[in-house]
Amino acid sequence: NCTGVEDFKDCLGNTENFCPTGISCQCKNEKPFCRCAYYRVGWQEYWYMGPKCNHLWNTLDFILVAILPAVGLVIIV
């Protein structure tokens, strides 16, 4: 429950089934969200995304998703 809770403060009540284990539930605009974790290994950063922190992304994935469509568009044009 996030009614009356300040932004980025912990959710009220039982949040065990809302976010994965070890991920905190916080409030924004009186709505709960999972505060996804991130970490760094060498030059790459890894972070979780999605409403339940269920999508793992890394630096290389982000670069490929951002650059490959642009390259394809350039080739088409």
Torsion of Cα atoms, 50 then 53 then 59 then 65, to 10°? -30
Amino acid, res. 10: D
d(CA 56, CA 64): 15
pLDDT single digits (tens) 14-58: 777 788 877 888 888 888 888 888 888 887 888 888 878 888 888
What pTM, to 2 d.p., does this model score? 0.60
Burial 32-58 (b: 16+ CB within 10 A, else e): bbbebeeeeeeeeeebbeeeebeeebe
